[in-house]
Amino acid sequence: MGTRIFFGRAFKGLIVLVFFGLLWSQAVGKPSGSKPKAATKSRTLDYVFTNESVLRIKIDIPKDGMAILRKYQWGWGGGGERQAVRATVREGETIYTNVAVHLKGAAGSFRRIDENPCLTLKFDKFVDGQRFHGLDKISLNNSVQDPSYLSEKLSREMFEKAGVPVPRAGHATVELNGRALGLYVLTEGFDKQFLKRYFKNVKGNLYDGGFLKEVTDELEKTSGANPKDRSDLKSLAEAASEPDPSKRLARLEKVLDLDRFITCVAMDVMTCDWDGYAINKNNYRLYHDPDSGRFVFFPHAA
């Protein structure tokens, strides 16, 4: 999620033990040399995030797809549409066909497709009902800003324990067209499947904070019943902009889950997340819960 945890000496031993534990579990994991089979019902969704073993993911993208991905370059303010291409994904003995893959990442983490790119994989975009261990969408993060590969997982677990909704994280080794990319951080996607873990009603509007944008800006709506209706976001912006301090808090309490918002901000500060909403108005999502009528903020990777 862009969260950077700066560990002191007391934590260095823990980092080394956990990291080598990951490598060991990878080494003794089930061999992947057997013939792949068609995707069937996977193990439970939670399995991906337990680190019982590091998953081995192989991605094959045809030449025409690679040519499309090579055209994309991230620039300040974004790099245009992140076009998805079709790929074949193998994990262990299971093969997934027609998986939608696009490049992800921003100023710090973006790498081109011929380097060690961050990738988003959507398994059901072209194949209805296709799931990866129960997930319809995952991201593979290169962790170029965190050589321990642990900050995302640990910080997300801290947000979770504090009561802030957040996608989970695990680990996987990644191979792209036969080229070993090494260890990656695997994260759960932001979609209705994620929302169902925290909200009874997932028909509300989900907004992407984008790159260095505030709630008063034109945020992208990634989910919701009426794509053109942004009245909920407008109400939040107006409440936050209330000029009378004596009225501002009362207005905000009606449209914002203040308890979880304050917790989210506190966790941003406690985890030294200099690129989150609290410090840099970046890397966040917000969901308007139709049942409560209030917004909930989440930390999010770029």
> Which residues, other chains included, contact 236 with Cβ-Cβ below 8 Å and sequence gap of 6+?
215, 255, 256, 295
The predicted structure's pLDDT at residue 50: 81
The predicted structure's pLDDT at residue 225: 82
DSSP secondary structure letters along 20-65:
HHHHHHHHTSPP--SPPEE--PPSPGGGGGT-SS-EEEEEE--HHH
Overall domain count for the chain? 2
In this structure, is residue 130 part of a structural domain? Answer: yes
In this structure, is residue 1 part of a structural domain? Answer: no
152 band by pLDDT with thresholds 50, 70 and 90 = very high
Sign of the Cα torsion 48, 186, 128, 204 reads: positive
Per the prediction, the chain carries an average pLDDT of 84
Is 76 a residue whose pLDDT tops 90? Answer: no
Last residue of a domain, one of 174, 189, 204: 189
Do residues 218 and 113 both lie within one domain? Answer: no
In this structure, is residue 2 part of a structural domain? Answer: no
Do residues 33 and 123 both lie within one domain? Answer: yes
Do residues 230 and 157 both lie within one domain? Answer: no
What confidence tens digit (pLDDT) does each residue in 9-26 have? 333 334 333 343 444 344
Domain that holds residue 147: 9-189
Do residues 53 and 70 both lie within one domain? Answer: yes
Residue listed under structure tokens 């994990």:
91
Rounded to 10 deg, the angle between the 231-240 and 245-255 helix axes is 150
What confidence tens digit (pLDDT) does each residue in 271-299 have? 888 888 999 898 899 999 999 999 999 99
Do residues 132 and 68 both lie within one domain? Answer: yes
In this structure, is residue 206 part of a structural domain? Answer: yes
The predicted structure's pLDDT at residue 78: 54
Do residues 141 and 262 both lie within one domain? Answer: no
In this structure, is residue 259 part of a structural domain? Answer: yes
44 band by pLDDT with thresholds 50, 70 and 90 = low
Do residues 99 and 204 both lie within one domain? Answer: no
The predicted structure's pLDDT at residue 74: 72
Is 205 a residue whose pLDDT tops 50? Answer: yes
In this structure, is residue 212 part of a structural domain? Answer: yes
Last residue of a domain, one of 189, 221, 250: 189
CA dist., res. 233 & res. 231, Å (int) = 6
CA dist., res. 267 & res. 120, Å (int) = 26
Do residues 173 and 200 both lie within one domain? Answer: no
Contact of 302 with 29, CB cutoff 8 Å: no
Determine which helix (DSSP H) or strand (DSSP E) holds 88, and give its type and residue range. strand 85-91
Last residue of a domain, one of 157, 189, 221: 189
Contact of 22 with 183, CB cutoff 8 Å: yes
CA distances from 262 to 162, 258, 296 (A): 11, 6, 10
Do residues 167 and 220 both lie within one domain? Answer: no
Do residues 114 and 130 both lie within one domain? Answer: yes
Number of other residues whose CB lies within 10 A of the CB of residue 203: 15
Do residues 241 and 171 both lie within one domain? Answer: no
Do residues 224 and 115 both lie within one domain? Answer: no
**Which among 146, 141, 150 has a CA at the least distance from the CA of 188?**
141
What whole-number percentage of the chain has pLDDT above 70? 82
In this structure, is residue 4 part of a structural domain? Answer: no
